[in-house]
Structure 1
Amino acid sequence: MECTTVLPLSQLSFFPPKPCNRQNRAYPSRPWKQRTSQPTRFNCQKMYVPGFGEASPEAKAANNLHHFFTYVAVSIVTAQLQSYNPEAYKELMEFLSRHSLSDGDKFCADLMRESSRHKSLALRILEVRSAYCKNDFEWDNLERLATKKVDESNTRLMRDYVLETTHGES
């Protein structure tokens, strides 16, 4: 998924590597012994994304989705509680007013330690979070929607820029 090889710009090529000419090999029976003065070229099909250090963009997105799944699970559980257990709903809503959902794991850990009743709510949230992620979240739809959003946004921004810059030339 990731390519971590970094070559100087002077060694990068925008053209595919030339096919190997088998007649000019120094050791035709042992190609691994062949010596070349050319730098080794790595064919990586993915873009190198600088500045992410400890994690890839996908790892950062997964982390954000992880927290989002907690938010979704809390929404599902609160909706369920509201209709069949108003007392637990009220307790969870009070807890929500005092604790941030920005870090899903911290939220669940704090909820577990609040009381034994809260612990059962936290376990329910963990269960729903896992089930939603594995069974209900539409991963293919996410890819389709994200790609569509980027394409539409790029088109809109380019169109707006062209309209803005050509409108003044009239």
Structure 2
Amino acid sequence: MTRLLRLEKGNEDALKGENSEIINGVAYEKPELDEAHKDIVRYLHAASSRYVLTHRPLDKLAMPHDPLVIDAEVLPNTILRPEIAMQIKDESFPAWVVEIASEENMEVAYLEKMNIYMAAGVKEYWVIDPVKQVILSYNFVKNPWIPAIYDSPQRIKVTVYKDYFISYSEIFKDRSEEE
């Protein structure tokens, strides 16, 4: 097994701020998430934390936007900040990564990062578009180039696990009324 992608603390010096990323030595500013998008990240992180605690206690769930350093053999000088990065026990890189797409970063989220994560060895990559309320789920192990597209209420399987499902309706639920 190759070690291509790792969660790493301490490399933040190369980053310009909390929303910055570096792709092949070029700094990019991730757009600031609005409250609705932050709610999606909070929901996914909480649901994934519960799953890890009860089913997979040795797996690691990174905090949202923790730096993810790509090995120089895959793409030099690359540090990404995904919304969700789940690392399976005994593996040195995340198996499941989630990014939130916005008008400002569509090309990067849909094309560049998909290729980076696939080359780095990520098994599953989700792109969530909150405006269009669509989720693209790439399973790089079974069918790397064709995503499953979710655009209506249903349970969505996180394919790196046999028993982990996430509700489409909960992802796009309006939580502003609950306050």
For normalisation by structure 1, the TM-score amounts to 0.26
Q: Name the larger-Rg structure.
A: 1
Larger fraction in helix? 1
For normalisation by structure 2, the TM-score amounts to 0.25
Larger fraction in strand? 2
